Amino acid sequence: MAPVSPGEEMYALVERLYPLCRSITGDGVRATLDVVGDHLPLDVHEVPTGTQVLDWTVPQEWNIRDAYIADASGRRVVDFAESSLHVLGYSVPVSATLPLSELRAHLHTLPEHPSWVPYRTSYYRPDWGFCLAQETLDAMPDGLYEVRIDSTLADGHLTYAEHVVPGQVADEVIVSAHVCHPSLANDNLAGIAVATFLARALAERTPWYTYRFLFAPGTIGAITWLARNAERVRRGAVRHGLVLACAGDRGQLTYKRSRRGDAGIDRVLRHVLDTSERPYRITEFTPYGYDERQFCSPGFDLGVGSLSRTPYAGYPEYHTSADDLDFVSPEAMADTLAVCREAFSVLDRDRRYVNLSPYGEPQLGRRGLYDALGGRSDAKQAQLALLWVLNLSDGEHGLLDIAERSGLPFDTVAAAADALCDAGLIKA
């Protein structure tokens, strides 16, 4: 058999997760984390209902076993067993027989896309409902329908998980993916898959930073994590961060800056995307979107950006049944993963150095530095990088500063710094 590529492995993980009914709490989240746990060791946290987390309270736990709308013959015209999108998220239990005229108030469709099923929720207001294709609704004659939602809304827990890749220093980089959406392949599952395989890739080496991967329900999960880690965050334990979402569609990459706009992660992603041959967009921070808005809330103001392909609400399939397994591709997820790996490689190697021979240019030839570059195809660039690193190694400029100012590739600048360190001409 041909070896399986990382993109194909990530796609297989998305396929496995796709049928599960996820929400902001409940067994669907636990089942999702169990699957991710087959790839990564996870530290799973359960936070009880009623726990105060910043300005929020952990809600009751929601679980669902079955739901349907059946016509007079007993045929299920809408069936939760066919898709977890068919039920309004957090629906309270219902068992009733209703005329279609009364049932319509609880039905959600997309008239502009009559074959698609929308994704809708009612997390913090007790309600119930069904989501269905407009063409299904159009085919339902007037009459009585049996309506059943076999769900529970009771005191329980909010569940989230962490995976830590230890680094050479305790300073942390957070990578966050939300785990609260049901059968949506791009908005939810592709981000989970890329985060999972990114963690595995980082563990193959010992990174400089410690990387903390957070798999949590959107909004309330990030708020809960921040509430439980507020003191660590305020002490500066988190240096950088990245939220991954919508990571598998065929659109171009989009990076959304942190609230600061010039945080380390902002500069790194701009540099990596700028020097690649990929089409991309960089957008400014807005307090709307995914959990970057929690990490970037003014009290924390962390340097956390967001990486996606087509961003949230930027494609017609967003939050509909058309965000399915055909909407994402192994190639797109592999490309997102490659950019993340390159970005964190730059982040890990971006150091400031001090020139130990700052008076005049040191003689590089007698130290063998020019000779060592003789066989390289980019020898002229490499020689120029030596000079740039020597000149800007004043304790104030990092390697990314030097790469940006010189216009040289970061890898070339980092290789020059390594060579100069080995020769005793600079030190970190």
For tokens 């990174």, the residue is: 207
Alpha-carbon distance of 406 to 411, in angstroms, equals 13
Q: Which amino acid is at 359?
A: Y
User: Exposure string (b/e) for 4-14, b if CB count within 10 Å is 16 or more?
Assistant: eebbebbbebb
On whether the CB atoms of residues 408 and 354 are closer than 8 A, the answer is: no
**193 Cα distance to chain centroid:** 9
One DSSP character per residue, 354-410 reads EESS-SS----GGGTHHHHTTT-TTHHHHHHHHHHHHHHTEEEEEHHHHHHHHT--H
What tokens were used for 276?
């690649």
What tokens were used for 217?
């329900």
On whether the CB atoms of residues 248 and 188 are closer than 8 A, the answer is: no
Q: What residues pair up with 118 in beta bridges, in sequence order? A: 320
Q: Which amino acid is at 200?
A: R
CB under 8 Å to 100, separation ≥6 — which residues?
A: 140, 141, 142, 143, 144, 145
Q: Is 187 annotated as a binding residue?
A: yes
Q: Could you say which DSSP state residue 10 is in?
A: H
One DSSP character per residue, 274-325 reads HHSSS-EEEE---S-SSTHHHHTSTTT---EEEEESSPTT-STTTTBTTSST
Alpha-carbon distance of 286 to 402, in angstroms, equals 30
What tokens were used for 213?
């991967």
What 226-232 contacts at long range (C-beta under 8 Å, 24+ apart), as own/partner pairs, is: 226/53, 226/54, 226/294, 226/295, 226/300, 227/52, 227/53, 227/54, 228/45, 228/47, 228/53, 230/300
- Binding residues for Zn(2+) are 181, 187, 319
- Binding residues are 181, 187, 319
